[in-house]
Structure 1
Amino acid sequence: MKISVWDTYVKRTDGKTMHFDILVPSTIKNEHAVYNYGQEYLKKKPFETDSLTSKECRFCHIEEAPEDIERKILEQGYYILEMENCF
């Protein structure tokens, strides 16, 4: 499965910046759908963050998904790859 990678940086209220990628099927072209996935993810966090908009989340590139990530995308429609200050 080819996936689109959306590079995302969101400020936490404690001053740290979260860095994560939102991975979606490459057939999804609606950026607002991607932002909604990001907002859904942020709501599950135990800390508060700033909002997620086109300023914080940008399309980066398309790549082939590893099997485990593809499986998760098929289950929930997207996958979040956490990189910095996501915990």
Structure 2
Amino acid sequence: MRVSVWDTYVKRNDGLTMHFDILVPVSVQDEDKIVHFGKQYLHQKSFGTGDLTSKECRFCHIENASEDIIKNIENFGFHIIEMEHCH
């Protein structure tokens, strides 16, 4: 499966900046839907964050997905790769 990678940066309430990627099938191009996936992910965090808009979430590139990523996309519609300050 080919996936689009959306590079995302969101300020945490403690001043740190979270960096994570939102991966979706290449057929998903609706930025509002992709931002919604990011908000779903942020809602699960135990700490507060700033707002996520299309300004914080930008298309980066397309790549082939691993088996684990494909499973998450089939189950949830998206996959998150945590990069910095996500815990």
Show structure 1 runs of 4+ deviating over 4 A.
none
Q: CA deviation at 1:65?
A: 0.4
Alignment of 1:3-82 (within 5 A): 3-82=3-82
Give me the whole-angstrom Cα distance separating, in 2, the residues matched to 1:42 and 1:34: 13
TM normalised by structure 2 equals 0.97
Question: How far apart are the structure 1 equivalents of 2:24 and 2:4?
Answer: 5
Q: Percent identity?
A: 59
Q: State the distance in 1 between where 2:75 and 2:13 align.
A: 31
Distance 2:20 2:44 in 1: 14
**Could you tell me how far apart the structure 1 residues matched to 2:54 and 2:72 are?**
24
Separation in 2, partners of 1:35, 1:71: 20
- Determine the C-alpha separation between the residues in 1 that align with 2:3 and 2:33: 14
> What is the TM-score of this pair, normalised by structure 1?
0.97
C-alpha distance in 1 between matches for 2:83 and 2:64: 19
The AA in structure 2 aligned to 1:43 is: H
Structure 1 residue runs without a partner (length 5+) = none
Give 1:43 deviation, angstroms.
0.6
